[in-house]
Structure 1
Amino acid sequence: MNHTVNEKVRSRFLRGAIFLMATSAIGPAFLTQTAQFTERYLASFAFAILLSLIIDSGVQMNIWRVISVSGKRGQEIANELLPGLGYVIAALILFGGFAFNIANIGGAALGLNVLFNLPLAVGGLITAALTIGLFLFKRFGPVMDRVMQICGIVMLLMVGYVMFNSAPPVQEAAYRAFVPQDYMILLLPIVTIVGGTVGGYISFAGGHRLVDAGITGKENVKFVGRAASLGILTTGIMRVFLFLAVLGVVSAGYSLDENNPAATVFRVGLGDVGYYLFGLVLFVAAISSVIGCAYTSVSFLRSFHPVFAEKNNLFIAGFITISALIFLTIGQPVQLLILAGALNGLILPIVLTTILIASRKKSIVGDYHHPTALLLFGILTVLVTMGAGYIALEGIIELWNG
């Protein structure tokens, strides 16, 4: 697709890419982490959210623009820079994608358990059947875009409703976003939420969707930059809504259930109805993450052999099927999820460094000039995420051995 495409069609793909990226980031782990960190750090967690959004912007603006201008997916760019690197990145992202998809299917099953008291195994099967059904459509792209938009809007409205009902201390949160009580103790939550919103496959979700839609080339660069910004903004609004909802509950003196902290927020804010509302939000967040994870993870195979592109929907269905079978047979393997979390943090600086080098290679981006300010922002982000990844890896090793 090029500059001759009418604005209506481009806008449809814009919304699809935005919500694919945002809903991929907003999964069960997103809900749990935000609730836990808010209870621990109270209003000061606003600083971690603000800083993570700035880092997220540095990642997405660079990756989306270079991918779209080049018309190549992340693994293709990596292989051009260093033969074989694309295969390594693809393998790491696929492994992480499988691990997180098992958790996403588990989250959707838990949501159905809350709503309809279904056994987790039945909920997992229903989730797999629904998502596989979507990808078996001959032209699943537009259907996926619309489903992701609906999921994103439902989550924003519901969490926003709970936020207003919990009456959070907004002024204190705004102040602590710039003046937290302790900067250093917020390092770990910053590492965690950055990895959760732009780590692993998530950083490529929207960019690969635009490439698949054909929205590539220098003439679309401003459009793509706008899409990346809106994707981060959408995720940020959801994070802020959930943070304020939790802050309102814990500021009123309530303690969150350590096994299901996000559920407590909904129940306190809206009573028993809130608990069922939580089930719906959890299901929507999880099933949209299953879709985003499967689509983006399998997109890393498409350039390695024509069969992956020709039978793309079948490979996505297979990815979901394997994830569901693992969930049904051995549940959510904790060590696998821990290792996948570490990989997410470690993959990010590698892939971002690759993209930044590619932004200066004419063989990849042609005569496109990547803004120097964006390049410097990206380098700073690489340094921060490298340090963060090292700290996260130390913690992961302790957990693994412990």
Structure 2
Amino acid sequence: MEPVKRSANDTKPTMTVKSNWDLLLGAAFLMATSAIGPGFLTQTTVFTQKLAASFGFVILMSIILDIGAQMNVWRIIAVSGKRGQDIANGVLPGLGYFVALLIVMGGLAFNIGNIAGAGLGVNVILGVSPIHGAIFSAVVAIAIFLVKEAGKAMDRFTQVAGFVMIALTVYVAITSAPPVGEAMVKSIIPDQIDMMAIVTLVGGTVGGYITFAGGHRLLDAGVTGVNALPEVTKSSVTGILVTGVMRVVLFLAALGVVSQGLAIDAANPPASVFKLAAGAAGYKVFGIVMWAAAITSVIGAAYTSVSFIRTFHPKLESNYRFIIIGFIIISTLVFAIIGRPVKVLVMVGALNGLILPITLGTILLAAHNKKIVGAYKHPIWMTIFGIFVVVIMTYMGGYTLINELPKLFK
């Protein structure tokens, strides 16, 4: 997982085509499974219950905004050969430290929920207490970073877990018999547009640390240079599509339950959906999906959050794996003390959405800074797409912060 240093003008491909795909898929799934955590499951279920078939429009909008954010971020990381915090410091001295602070704080908040979700998943599968399940899950995550080739182990683990999550959720979606036709129509012509839902979904999918997860992974593996851009773009879009598929099948599973007039338990919305849709077997399936979603998010959040501070000092760089392990241990201890309320998971997703305009705006400035990207010319259409995402997320994020977030705690 050691980074490969290359200049901004390097146009040589760093990997052969044959060896590329596993790594590109690994980066895509690291980003996707970082996004698909307990908060993802909770947010999707809560908003489906609130918006019914119209939630399809929110998903469609979020996928479009996600692609606009990810393509820009991953591309500039690859061209510059720098991590997000170093790019930010190149745009404005000191900005990288501020961005790193936001990312690490958000990543830690998310990881507390991720650890809790992993504990809950083990609780459902094996019947042990959530705290014991969380400790077991933390040990699994730590073991991956103790492996000699931790990068490859992380890639393979997230890919397998991602496929398992999607396959099992598809089974539950089919069982719940959702009104697919209505969902397709409302995805284009919704009954209502919920800005907080869009901000929360975008924040939970590409907000905070998640925006940089795959890009930093490719950078660590040496995938840099202009010639690598087609593969980088393919990997970034693949990651978004994986999260989109999971979001859609989970939405359909929940919609099937909601459309039958069944009551979803507010204490644990996603578990309620799986149980109502497929009975006792569905509840066990939920446990597996929750654990897979949570443990991969623990890995992604810890890896990416620490990647934002490791370049600030040589000792941080040389000991980054132990810092990742410490990050996981701290998250586990905090969960054991304060737990994981559903409202906090929704709130953290929304707050991560507020971070996105700052990080993406910084990347767009860097895209046209020759000191950072050299002779590379960033496509105008991609810049416009990125600006569109920044403007939309700034407006909707501000609206949500003023009008919607306070309602969560009334």
TM-score range, shorter chain: over 0.9
Deviations 1:123-151 (Å, cap 9, x if unpaired)? 11111111111111122000000000011
1:75-224 alignment to 2 at 5 Å? Answer: 75-183=85-193, 186-224=194-232
| Corresponding residue of 2:7 | none
Q: 1:270 pairs with 278, 303, 321, which one? A: 278
- Which ranges of structure 2 fall in alignment gaps of 5 or more residues? 5-11
Distance 1:391 1:235, change over 3 A: same
* C-alpha contact (below 8 Å) 1:96/1:341 kept by paired residues: no
What is the Cα deviation at residue 269 of structure 1?
2.0
- Partner SS state of residue 255, structure 1: coil
Query: What RMSD over aligned residues (CA atoms) do the two structures have, in Å?
Result: 1.7
Partners in 2 of 1:103 and 1:375 — Cα distance? 34
Distance 1:328 1:160, change over 3 A: same
- Which ranges of structure 1 fall in alignment gaps of 5 or more residues? none
Distance 1:338 1:197, change over 3 A: closer
Deviations 1:309-364 (Å, cap 9, x if unpaired)? 21221110011011111112333488976774454122110111110011111111
- Partner SS state of residue 177, structure 1: helix
Distance 1:356 1:187, change over 3 A: same
| Corresponding residue of 1:394 | 402
1:1-80 alignment to 2 at 5 Å? Answer: 2-3=12-13, 5-80=15-90
Letter in 2 for 1:230: T
What is the Cα deviation at residue 365 of structure 1?
1.0
1:297 equivalent to 2:314? Answer: no
What is the Cα deviation at residue 396 of structure 1?
6.6
Letter in 1 for 2:310: R
What is the Cα deviation at residue 389 of structure 1?
1.6
| Corresponding residue of 2:315 | 307
Distance 1:245 1:332, change over 3 A: closer
4+ aligned runs moved over 2 Å, structure 1: 329-343, 395-402
Deviations 1:173-218 (Å, cap 9, x if unpaired)? 11111111123xx212111111111110001011111111110011
Partners in 1 of 2:301 and 2:262 — Cα distance? 34
Q: 1:360 pairs with 354, 358, 368, which one? A: 368
Distance 1:232 1:76, change over 3 A: same
1:244-263 alignment to 2 at 5 Å? Answer: 244-263=252-271
